């Protein structure tokens, strides 16, 4: 019996998929089809898959062409499957020509002619029109955002606005997009507005963008005041638009894996969360100069609060800040201590003090340590009382990681609102409240 294997995502099952399976089946007597998981697709940079794994498997089943369907969940699995299932022929479409030649040492490799003029990417674009992104702000993060957005199918960065037209023009030239002086024209040319301007301008830009009927992706901290955050989310709901806070860690696959393992009993009940993020910044940078809104906590606190809120929830009993300020009254180093009914947490941020960027989760039977930089979660260990008893986990974190939040926001715009559990409206409102309390106390 000749055994054939093929792999794919098979999203929005189409004629090209059917024709490929038909010909794959004809190559032998028994056809195995490997279908990728959403997580595996994410780690290999394929974002925005619409159909669930179950739906994609069901669609293949319906063709009646597959004798067996398996799930592909990691790199290196193809080789293992070839051995495990005693495969004679590996086949995929001609878009992959050459990529799998390394398997020729283990079985025959056949590239089948790809069906022209059809792909899942095309269908996704047809189902959901391209969302044009307009960027407000031209700083470091905005410069990182544009190349990341280019990797997400379904969105297209089109234009930029900055009250300083020269900055906007320079940015626009660099990225091949349009610069607008008139904000009305800018809104007209955008479907999603990405806000990467100084913190204190977020509120009014978000409000204005929502007024213009735009979806909003706003850099953290979304707001520095709880009432404003509550108002904005209510307004977004009223306008039927998505308002999304861009804390990239919340959307990356490694952080999702970490939360899953931390909450699965691997370390018993969680009793401590300690997160630290420090970044030495020069004196002439906005974060070090802005006496009202600058400083380490407004800059980095959102990251450190994220694992605390995700693991302990929004209902803390007490929060207390300890801060070292510079001569301008800006905090260079801040520790926020939080007390919950069943645990303690600290968020440590530094702009003028350097420490290890570690996340430590302590439980009743062990602890998890996430290696620096934990906010780009890619490696963590689970430890127990016996120092030799260590479990190790890793996950890929691609590029600057902004692609993950863009991708989740796009799914939400396209109707998959279940994605918002990763960073809820309540999480963002709670963080805004903590920022507010911190700034009030720093001022006092």
Q: Which residues bind ligand CTP (CB under 6 A)?
A: 8-11, 16-17, 20, 92-93, 95-96, 114-115, 118-121
Side-chain-side CA neighbours of 117 within 13 Å: the count stands at 0
CB of 45 or CB of 163, closer to ligand CTP: 45
Token pair of 18, please?
């059917």
Q: What are the start-end ranges of the E strands in 46-176?
A: 68-72, 89-93, 108-112, 131-136, 155-161
Nearer to ligand CTP, 141 or 406 (CB): 406
90 has which bridge partners?
5, 109
Cβ atoms of 276 and 254 within 8 Å: the answer is no
Both tokens of 24, joined, read 């794959």
Q: Whose Cβ is closer to ligand CTP: residue 150's or residue 369's?
A: 150
CB of 377 to ligand CTP, least distance (A): 26
Query: What's the CA gap between 353 and 272, in Å, rounded?
Result: 23
Rg (CA), the chain: 24
- Give 69 or 292: the residue with its C-beta nearer to ligand CTP: 69
Q: Dihedral angle at the C-alpha atoms of 294, 298, 301, 305, nearest 10 degrees?
A: 170
Q: Which is nearer to ligand CTP, 34 or 246 (CB)?
A: 34
The rounded distance, in Å, linking the Cα atoms of 365 and 346 is: 20
Nearer to ligand CTP, 33 or 439 (CB): 33
CA pair distance 99, 257, nearest whole angstrom: 29
Nearest to 358 by CA among 264, 271, 278, 269: 278
Residue 53 Cβ vs ligand CTP, minimum distance, rounded to whole Å: 12
DSSP string, 269-304: SEEEEEEEEE----TTSHHHH-TTT-SHHHHHHHHH
Q: Give me the DSSP letters along 249-271.
A: GGGSHHHHHHHHHHTTTBTBSEE
For residue 17, the minimal CB distance to ligand CTP (Å) is 5
Q: How many angstroms separate the first and last alpha carbons of the chain?
A: 80
**Which residue's CB is nearer to ligand CTP, number 119 or number 334?**
119
Coil vs helix vs strand at 52: coil
**CB 54 to ligand CTP: min, Å:** 16
The residue at minimum Cβ distance from ligand CTP is: 93
Nearer to ligand CTP, 93 or 357 (CB): 93
Q: In angstroms, what is the minimal distance from the CB of 121 to ligand CTP?
A: 3
Minimum CB separation of residue 114 from ligand CTP in Å reads: 4
Q: Determine the Cα–Cα distance for residues 298 and 300; give it in Å rounded to an integer.
A: 6
In the complex with ligand CTP, the residue whose CB is nearer, 50 or 172, is: 50
Among residues 242, 245, 361, 370, the alpha carbon closest in space to that of 301 is found at: 245
- Pick the closer one to ligand CTP by CB: 44 or 212: 44
Rounded least distance, CB 163 to ligand CTP, Å: 39
Rounded to a whole number of angstroms, the minimum distance from the CB of residue 118 to ligand CTP is 4
Do the beta carbons of residue 361 and residue 269 sit within 8 Å? Answer: no
In angstroms, rounded to a whole number, what is the distance separating the alpha carbons of residues 87 and 98? Answer: 19
User: With respect to ligand CTP, which residue has the nearer C-beta, 92 or 155?
Assistant: 92
Cα 32 to Cα 279: distance, rounded to the nearest angstrom: 50
Distance set, CA 178 to CA 139, 160, 186, 201 (Å): 16, 6, 9, 22
The CB-of-417 to ligand CTP minimum distance in angstroms stands at 23
- Considering the complex, state which of residue 7 and residue 255 has its C-beta at the smaller distance from ligand CTP: 7
- Least distance in angstroms from the C-beta of 329 to ligand CTP: 52
Write down the least CB distance from residue 120 to ligand CTP, Å: 3
What is residue 389's DSSP assignment?
A: -
Residue 421 CB, shortest distance to ligand CTP, in Å, is 25
Is residue 403 within 8 A of residue 151, CB to CB? The reply is yes
């Amino acid at each position: 019996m000749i055994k054939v294997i093929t792999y794919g995502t098979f999203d929005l099952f189409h004629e090209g998929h059917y024709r490929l399976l038909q010909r794959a089946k004809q190559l032998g007597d028994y056809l195995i089809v490997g279908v990728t998981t959403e997580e595996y697709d994410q780690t290999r940079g394929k974002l925005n898959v619409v159909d669930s794994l179950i739906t994609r498997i069901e669609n293949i089943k319906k063709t009646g062409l597959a004798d067996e369907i398996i799930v592909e969940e990691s790199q290196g699995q193809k080789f293992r499957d070839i051995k495990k299932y005693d495969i004679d022929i590996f086949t995929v479409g001609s878009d992959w020509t050459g990529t799998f030649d390394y398997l020729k040492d283990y079985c025959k490799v056949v590239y089948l002619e790809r069906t022209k003029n059809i792909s899942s990417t095309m269908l996704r674009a047809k189902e959901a029109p391209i969302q044009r992104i307009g960027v407000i702000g031209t700083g470091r993060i905005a410069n990182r955002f544009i190349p990341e957005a280019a990797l997400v199918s379904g969105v297209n960065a089109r234009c930029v606005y900055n009250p300083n037209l020269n900055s906007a023009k320079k940015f626009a030239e660099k990225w091949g997009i349009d610069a607008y002086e008139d904000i009305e024209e800018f809104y007209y040319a955008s479907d999603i507005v990405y806000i990467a301007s100084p913190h204190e301008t977020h509120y009014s830009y978000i409000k204005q963008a929502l007024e213009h009927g735009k979806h909003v992706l706003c850099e953290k901290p979304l707001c520095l005041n709880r009432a404003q955050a509550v108002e904005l989310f209510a307004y977004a709901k009223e306008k039927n638009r998505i308002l999304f806070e861009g804390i990239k860690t919340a959307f990356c696959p490694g952080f999702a894996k970490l939360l899953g393992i931390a909450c699965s009993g691997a370390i018993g009940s969680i009793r401590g969360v300690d997160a630290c993020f420090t970044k030495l910044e020069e004196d002439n940078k906005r974060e070090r100069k802005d006496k009202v809104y600058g400083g380490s906590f407004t800059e980095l606190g959102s990251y450190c609060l994220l694992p605390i809120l995700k693991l302990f929830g929004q209902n803390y009993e007490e929060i207390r800040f300890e801060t070292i300020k510079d001569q301008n009254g800006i905090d260079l180093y801040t520790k926020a201590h939080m007390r919950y009914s069943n645990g303690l947490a600290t968020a440590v941020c530094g702009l003028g003090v350097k420490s290890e960027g570690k996340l430590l989760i302590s439980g009743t039977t062990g602890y998890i340590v996430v290696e620096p930089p934990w906010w780009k979660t890619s490696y963590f260990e689970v430890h127990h009382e016996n120092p030799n008893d260590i479990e190790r986990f890793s996950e890929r974190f691609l590029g600057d990681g902004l692609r993950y939040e863009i991708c989740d926001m796009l799914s939400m715009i396209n109707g998959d609102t279940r994605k918002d559990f990763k960073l809820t409206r309540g999480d963002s409102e709670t963080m805004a409240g903590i920022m507010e309390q911190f700034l009030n106390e720093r001022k006092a």
